[in-house]
Amino acid sequence: MTITIKKQNIFNDRFCFLYLFFMIFVSTSFLTRTVILVKALPMVNLSVWLLIKIYCVGLFYDVATMLYFAIPFVIYLTIIPDRVYQSKFHKPLVYLLLFFSTSLLIFISFAEYFFFDEFGVRFNFIAVDYLIYTTEVVKNIRESYPLPAIISSIGVISLLVLLTTRKYLGISINSKTSFKERVKKGLVLLILPFLFFVSVDQSLSKISSNNYANELSANGIYNLFAAFKNNQIDYGAFYATRDNNAVFRKLREILKESNNTFVTNNIFDITRQIKNNGKEKRLNVVVMIVESLSAKYLGIFGSKDNLTPNLDELAGKSLLFTNLYATGTRTDRGLESITLSIPPTPGRSIIKRPDNEDMFSWGFIMRNRGYDTKFIYGGYGYFDNMNYFFSHNGFDIIDRKDIDKSDIHFTNALGVCDEDLFHKSITEFNKSYKNNKPFFAEIMTTSNHRPYTYPDGKIDIPSHSGRNGAVKYADYAIGEFIKDAQKEPWFKDTIFVIVADHCASSAGKTKLPVKKYQIPLLIYSPAHVTPEKIDRLASQIDIAPTVLGLLNFSYKSRFFGKDVLKMQYDQERAMIGTYEKLGYIKNNKLIVLDVKKENSMYQFNRHTGEAKKIPIDVDMLDEAISYYQGASYLYKHNFKD
């Protein structure tokens, strides 16, 4: 007797659509990972074993992501009857669906490459913001990249993929699959992503102490949705904690200074009465917050590129702080630390969170002293929720919509050029001066940001040629602003503060590369501030208390920052972080608090940035926890004005 075994063609199955999609997805992810690996190769310290882990763990996340991505396809393929699936009108839709799905995957791959090129990481919170603020982001992309060429390339590649798979897809469309069989396969394909959802998180991608290797082992789409899911991170649930009473005892001890006293004995109340000697100086205060101005760009910090001649000259006439660090990697985080003087709590900046009104802010301190208080921005302030936050925390808002078209000489996706922004600022200051009102302003610039475009003929680097040109133009605009301000009657009674919102790039081999968080701080006022170089370790959160100290203001404070000029050596510290990792710097050592209550400690060289892991100093860990747990607790409970 002859037994005939009928071979089952895997393509003779309506779920062949998913099999093809799976191969396309994994292949695209593999190529994306490889291209990014080649770009990051100098920073990865690659070994054979690390290479194996990158691709094996990466494949795991690719499969998990593909299963999530496939859920709507699985449901559709399960429920649609054969007569509809095989109908003439439906067949072209299947081809189009595969074409557009492939195009989307390839588009994401291009986007990942450009994102990694700018930030040194796969998709994260920043990418979430890009999806939220689509108007600015789309304009920025159009002005930064050859979009027509990219879209055309994506279309051609997707068409080639479709032509290659058309034969197998045709077999799949013509196959007959019973409802019972479809349900069996559909349930399996729906259960698998559920299992991944309840059992897998981003922690498996932490395969090395090298942060670039960890990013390469992840999947960008997976990270993007994880960022959506975790836009706020509960400190107590994810980070090392201490008893709240112990935390606040330590925090009150840390915050105690020679010129302050706590106003109550309530251990959870950090309100202090700050007393400064001498008569209060009702000087105007202008805080220029310069987009992405890393210290490394300035000649005074060792740059040989001559990008900041105006700032370098101004530094010699200012209080120059040479050991100051940004708290985060985004504009909103810098604005938060400067305005609220608080450490970077995990998750999104408080500027973007709910319940961020009427907080204890620099704006309210100045407004209550009778100052005109303004937040001035060259773009539209709904971006990053800036208008809402500042208008509810002691500031009047001046943004792009308030600048007359006749006063705009150049603009790009993010806003008017810095020169136009500063001209508008002077107009606003003149209004306050004519009304006999002192003024306090935070000015947020935009020119030193992709697409790196600015007016022609201002500097010797052509517009749209890269970051160096944008830095030099930003420096030029600041120089012109100071020259214009010197012509005004209020100049002699004004303190100018120049600081970055964050550094240009925070990517590095270590979890938190300390040197890349270093930013400049200049305080300039020829009639009132004696030039000096200050090398004390300090943070963005210390700017407001330091300036208020220069004004000899006595006031009640709930700031976490301190007056750097009165700070003792053993009080010097700084905070740096991402949305997930929280860093505490002291004595050339760095504590990193991470999710899953993981802690690590590093000794670093502040000049070279080199770092090595060392055993944890328990006392320093307790200080770090006190700052971060205390700030998170107060935000949740009563951190209000």
Above 70 in pLDDT, residue 132?
no
- The set of residues, in sequence order, having a beta carbon less than 8 Å from that of 60 and lying 6+ positions away, is 204
CA 397/CA 519 separation, integer angstroms: 26
Q: Is the pLDDT of residue 6 over 50?
A: no
pLDDT at 1: 38
Q: What pLDDT does residue 641 have?
A: 47
Give the residue-averaged pLDDT of 66-80: 91
Q: Which positions ≥6 away from 141 have C-beta within 8 Å?
A: 147
Least confident of 207-211, 413-417, 437-441: 207-211
When pLDDT is cut at 50, 70 and 90, the band that residue 409 belongs to is: very high
pLDDT at residue 528, rounded to an integer: 97
Region of poorest pLDDT, from 349-358, 367-376, 432-441, 500-509: 500-509
CA atoms of 123 and 358, how far apart (whole Å): 33
Average pLDDT of the segment spanning 504-523: 84
Summarize the confidence of residues 106-112 as an average pLDDT.
89
Mean pLDDT value across residues 196-215: 84
pLDDT at 121: 75
Position 419 scores a pLDDT of 98
pLDDT at position 209, please?
80
Between 172 and 449, the higher pLDDT residue: 449
Q: Is it the case that residue 3 has pLDDT exceeding 60?
A: no
- Quote the CA–CA distance of 82 and 86 in Å, as a whole number: 6
pLDDT of residue 168: 86
Identity (one letter) of the amino acid at 275?
Answer: K
Mean pLDDT for 551-562 is: 97
φ/ψ region of 597 (left if φ > 0, alpha if ψ in -120 to 50, else beta) reads left
Structural domains present in the chain: 16-229 (no CATH), 238-513+528-567+574-637 (3.40.720.10)
**Interval 353-376 mean pLDDT:** 95
Question: Rounded to whole angstroms, what are the CA distances from 305 to 308, 335, 469, 485?
Answer: 8, 28, 11, 27
pLDDT, position 522: 98
Residue of 592, 597, 635, 639 whose CA lies nearest to 237: 597
- 257 token code pair: 């200074």
Whole-number Å distance between alpha carbons of 78 and 83: 13
Token pair listed for 165: 């798979």
In the predicted structure, residue 514 carries a pLDDT above the cut 60: yes
Rounded Cα distance, 220 and 32, in Å: 10
Name the more confident of 335 and 594: 335
Residue 432 is predicted with a pLDDT of 98
Looking at the predicted structure, is the pLDDT value of residue 589 above 50? yes
Q: Which candidate, 442, 422, 417, places its Cα nearest to that of 540?
A: 442
Contacts made by residues 209-212, CB under 8 angstroms, sequence distance 24+: 209/510, 209/613, 210/43, 210/44, 210/45, 210/50, 210/509, 210/510, 211/507, 211/508, 211/509, 211/510, 211/511, 212/40, 212/43, 212/44, 212/120, 212/507, 212/509
Mean pLDDT score, 61-83: 91
Q: What does the pLDDT average to over 553-565?
A: 96
Task: Classify residue 134 as exposed, middle or buried by CB count within 10 Å of its CB (0-12, 13-18, 19+).
Answer: exposed
**CB environment 496-532: b (16+ within 10 A), e (fewer):** bbbbbbbbbbbbbbbbbbbbbbbbbbbbbbeeebeee
Residue 125: pLDDT over 70: no
CB 294 within 8 A of CB 574: no
Q: Is the pLDDT of residue 357 over 80?
A: yes
- Residue 199: predicted pLDDT: 84
Is the pLDDT at 188 greater than 50, yes or no?
Answer: yes
Instruction: Choose the most confident range, by mean pLDDT, from 82-91, 221-230, 494-503.
Output: 494-503
Reply yes or no: is the peptide bond before residue 545 cis, omega within 30 of 0.
no
- 86: helix, coil or strand? coil
Q: What is the mean pLDDT of residues 537-559?
A: 97
The answer to whether residues 367 and 438 touch, using CB atoms and an 8 Å cutoff, is: no
Check residue 640 and give its pLDDT: 52
Mean per-residue pLDDT of the chain: 90
502: left (phi over 0), alpha (psi -120 to 50) or beta: beta
